[in-house]
Amino acid sequence: MGQLETRTLGRTGITVTRLGFGAMEVRGPRIWGGRPVADEEAQAILTAVLDAGVTFVDTSNDYGLSERYIGRYLADRRGGYSLATKCGCSMVPAGDHDETPHTWTRDHLLWNIDDSLAKLHTDYVDLLQLHNATVEQVEQNKLVEVLQEIKAAGKARFIGASTVAPHLATFISWGVFDSFQIPYSALERQHELLIQRAHDAGAGTIIRGGVAKGEPGAGLGNRDRWARWERAQLDELLGPGESRTQWLLRFILSHPGIDTTIVGTKNPEHLQENVSAAQAGPLPAGVYAEAKRRLDAAGERPLRA
């Protein structure tokens, strides 16, 4: 199998492994259902991620302890991976408390990046992303100009947006974002065609939710979403010894327009399973085509781009 496959993240020129790491799982307890994480657990998984050869790490200013852990345990390896974070998050400056609402003002975004850099123990991030802003919010608050100001100050190399339809299509048409972070999996195919459109426009494509948060029970996946797996009878398409989660990851890697997919875990065994799946590469072309046919028939189709 060997090393993890790499891609260039759109027009940025940054080389990333197609398997990235989403650091939300080391955020600690919070209102989004975060699970407790001990310091030694965070250190173990973050170290294991880089040791496995993963070169793209994604976090956010509102992911609880995530940025602090990355700064504490990975700062001395900063040159070995590309680092992405997000802004717009409403935080309490004096502590680790975080809220899900966002504040879209210039002052708040400037505070966000400075707060993130301090926690991350770095002078810059490779990618700074708007965290789920709408088109209206971006236009009204001139957020692209704020991101460009942060970039000009050397605090971010490139700018992007973590977003969904219908805003995604408009953002692609603007041509100002270097990358997009988009939810997508075999069980959530709405953005399948828009991902390709973003790729064709030269933007980097980062996928979140690619393994649908894991099977209910073993993971945090939604039962209704995972019912689509049963309806499409995807178990029949699994390779020998292949788990459902590994198959879902390979389904993501089969999409020609995807540069990297971020998968989060605090379990080193799960990390190794993900690495093994990524090393196996895309699904065989016939399996991939049959999977999409079955999902279409089961009612899980992409939106029109």
Give yes or no for a cis peptide into 166 (omega within 30° of 0): yes
Residue 184 designated active-site: no
The Cα–Cα gap between 42 and 24 comes to: 11
Run means of pLDDT, 10 residues per run, the chain, 305 residues: 89 98 83 72 96 97 90 97 93 47 92 96 98 96 98 98 98 98 96 98 96 59 79 96 95 98 93 96 98 95 87
Which tokens is 196 given?
A: 């390709």
Vertex 254, ends 252 and 255: CA angle to 5°? 75
Centre a 10 Å sphere on the Cβ of residue 105 and count the other Cβ atoms it contains. Answer: 13
In whole angstroms, give the CA distance from residue 268 to residue 85: 22
- DSSP-derived letter for residue 171 is H
Confidence at residue 29, expressed as pLDDT on a 0 to 100 scale: 66
Catalytic residue among 63, 69, 184, 288: 63
> In angstroms, rounded to a whole number, what is the distance separating the alpha carbons of residues 174 and 21?
28
Instruction: Compute the distance between CA of residue 194 and CA of residue 303 in angstroms, rounded to an integer.
Output: 8
Would you state the pLDDT for residue 220? 56
Would you tell me which CATH number, out of the four given (3.90.1150.10, 3.20.20.100, 3.40.50.140, 3.30.1360.120), belongs to the domain 14-297?
Answer: 3.20.20.100
Residue 174: its pLDDT value, please? 98
Q: In this predicted structure, what is the pLDDT of residue 30?
A: 57
**Which amino acid appears at position 134 of this protein?**
T
Please tell me the predicted confidence (pLDDT) of residue 199: 98
Segment (H or E) for 206: strand 204-208
Q: How far apart are CA 87 and CA 109, in angstroms?
A: 6
- CA pair distance 205, 199, nearest whole angstrom: 6
Predicted local confidence at residue 97, as pLDDT: 43
231 close to 298: Cβ distance less than 8 angstroms: yes
The single-letter DSSP state of residue 59 is -
Q: How far apart are CA 45 and CA 166, in angstroms?
A: 35
Q: Residue 58 has what pLDDT?
A: 97
Identify the helix (H) or strand (E) that includes residue 167. Answer: helix 167-174
Sign of CA dihedral 246, 184, 125, 267: negative
